[in-house]
């Protein structure tokens, strides 16, 4: 390659070059000879000067007929749409017929009319193609005309639209990430990752999107592996370091939650740390749903916390709420039926599988130390029954109700009172566990 070529070392030599052509061909010849593309696409006007220039370039650069395409338009600025359409046709010829990938195509808008250059820069930017420009100084000829001085020619990389203005797309993705729209944000980061000169920052952000989405959907093991990789890349690249502490805190939680296989679940329910972290996560999700004014989902997360507390306490008594033994049912059935009748007005026996309210009633029958330390009268069970009714009436559960903000706040306060009873510092721990939010400067 000529020493006057000023491309970054990272840039590949293009397999194809798409150019605009005017009446002068010196800079285009310089570009083709120095870059040696296998395929060339010419965009020219339907004028004798322009067509003669193309013929001169093809002959001097020795381009075989099957390896170039020439598409013409009228010499009029109103033809900018035609130039873009012609560009697209050449692009499809290269990518679909000749198998050239997008990152192997360079675009050179040096030659031709200004409106032609403007047109191909529009579509090249849209496609994220790399652009170059042949820079040259001009000298005065003997006829007092300005002519390009070939001794000053050099190829300058213009990058692509994403290099110059990709921060706008990244800002959009950051905003989506900050609103917990991880899948959509990831699609933008992945697109930028393919086009940026240095994609390392958006590579980390893409991993964070994937990891937090997996976590949000309760795939804790996958989330752990992906976020661990993101944390390692933050250290490796020394980028986005200010978010590492938050990520490490979440990794600590996921390191416990990732062993949540169904076969182990009953044993995990006996683990105070596992239950504590699940409660933290569920409350965190409910808080985010509340911020997004999705009160129905927020209430379901809070309901699950109450259910988890009862399942945890029952597990410590060696009782699986999904498979209550006949021995336990026979031993506590009479007391259970009496309490059930007092609370809801009708008797029912302990089932083999028990839900939230029945779990709490059984805990009362067991004289659970945790429960009896907080509550001294079974009236609290009536209060519990009234509180959880808010969830049972939802459209997405059993009835056709929508939760109001006031109802959500009341239920949240009730669940928080139980969380504080488990550990007075639990709510503070939630505040210290946050998915990071990207700042504009990043």
- pLDDT tens, position by position, 269-303: 999 999 999 999 999 999 999 999 999 899 999 99
Helix, strand, coil percent content, the chain, rounded in steps of 5: 60, 10, 30
Residue 307: predicted pLDDT? 94
Average pLDDT rounded to a whole number, residues 392-400: 57
Per-residue pLDDT at 39 exceeds 60: yes
Q: What is the pLDDT of residue 3?
A: 42
Query: Domain residue spans in the chain?
Result: 5-159, 163-258, 266-442
Instruction: Give the other-Cβ count within 10 Å of 248's Cβ.
Output: 13
Question: What is the pLDDT averaged over residues 47-76?
Answer: 94
Residue (of 229, 238, 224) closest to 206 by Cα position: 229
User: Residue 210 pLDDT > 70, yes or no?
Assistant: yes
pLDDT of the residue at 109:
92
User: Rounded to whole angstroms, how far apart are CA atoms 69 and 55?
Assistant: 12
Whether residue 395 contacts residue 369, with contact meaning beta carbons closer than 8 Å, is answered with no
Using the predicted structure, report yes or no on whether residue 179 has a pLDDT greater than 60: yes
Cα distance between residue 12 and residue 188, in whole Å: 24
Is 10 strand, coil or helix? coil
At the topology level, CATH places domain 5-159 in Rossmann fold (3.40.50)
First-residue to last-residue Cα distance in the chain: 37
| pLDDT of amino acid 8 | 46
Burial class (CB in 10 A: 0-12, 13-18, 19+), 297: middle
Question: What pLDDT, on a 0 to 100 scale, did the predictor assign at position 321?
Answer: 93
Give the model's pLDDT for residue 53.
94
Q: Give one DSSP letter per residue of 122-179, joined into a string.
A: HHHHHHT-EEEEEE--EEE-TTS-EEE-GGG-EEEEEE-HHHHHHHHHHHHHHHHHHT
| 40, containing H or E segment | strand 39-45
CB 25 within 8 A of CB 53: yes
Question: What kind and span of H or E run contains 72?
Answer: strand 68-73
> How confident is the model over 136-149, as pLDDT tens digits?
887 776 666 777 77
Mean pLDDT, residues 416-432 taken together:
83
What is the rounded CA–CA span in Å between residue 53 and residue 21?
A: 7
């Amino acid at each position: 390659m000529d020493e006057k070529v000023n491309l970054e070392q990272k840039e590949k030599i293009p397999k194809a070059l798409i150019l605009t052509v005017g009446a002068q061909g010196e800079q285009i010849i310089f570009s083709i000879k120095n870059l040696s593309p296998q395929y060339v696409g010419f965009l020219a006007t339907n004028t004798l000067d322009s067509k003669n220039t193309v013929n001169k370039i093809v002959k001097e650069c020795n381009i075989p007929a099957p390896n170039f395409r020439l598409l013409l338009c009228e010499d009029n600025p109103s033809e900018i749409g035609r130039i873009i359409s012609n560009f697209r046709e050449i692009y499809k010829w290269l990518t679909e017929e000749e198998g050239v990938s997008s990152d192997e195509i360079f675009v050179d808008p040096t030659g031709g009319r200004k409106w032609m250059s403007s047109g191909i820069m529009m579509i090249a930017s849209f496609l994220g193609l790399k652009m170059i420009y042949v820079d040259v100084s001009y000298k005065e000829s003997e006829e007092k005309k300005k002519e390009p001085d070939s001794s000053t020619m050099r190829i300058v990389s213009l990058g692509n639209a994403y290099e110059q203005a990709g921060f706008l797309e990244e800002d959009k993705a950051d905003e989506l990430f900050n609103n917990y729209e991880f899948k959509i944000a990831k699609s933008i980061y992945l697109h930028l990752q393919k086009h940026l000169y240095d994609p390392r920052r958006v590579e980390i952000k893409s991993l964070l999107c994937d990891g937090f989405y997996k976590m949000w959907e309760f795939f804790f093991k996958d989330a752990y592996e992906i976020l661990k990789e993101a944390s390692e890349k933050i250290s490796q690249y020394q980028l986005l370091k200010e978010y590492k502490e938050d990520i490490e805190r979440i990794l600590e939680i996921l390191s416990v939650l990732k062993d949540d296989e169904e076969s182990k679940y009953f044993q995990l329910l006996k683990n105070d740390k596992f239950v504590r972290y699940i409660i933290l996560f569920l409350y965190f999700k409910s808080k985010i749903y509340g911020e997004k004014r999705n009160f129905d989902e927020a209430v379901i997360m809070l309901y699950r916390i109450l259910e988890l507390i009862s399942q945890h306490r029952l597990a410590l008594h060696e009782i699986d709420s999904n498979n209550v033994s006949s021995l336990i049912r026979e031993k506590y059935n009479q007391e259970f039926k009496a309490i059930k009748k007092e609370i809801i007005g009708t008797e029912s026996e302990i089932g083999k599988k028990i839900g939230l309210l029945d779990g709490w009633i059984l805990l009362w029958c067991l004289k659970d130390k945790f429960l009896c330390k907080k509550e001294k009268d079974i009236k609290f069970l009536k209060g519990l029954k009234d509180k959880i009714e808010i969830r049972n009436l939802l459209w997405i559960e059993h009835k056709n109700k929508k939760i109001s903000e006031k109802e959500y706040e009341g239920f949240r306060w009730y669940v928080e009172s139980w969380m504080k009873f488990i550990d007075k510092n639990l709510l503070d721990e939630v505040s210290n566990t946050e998915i990071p939010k990207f700042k504009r400067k990043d």
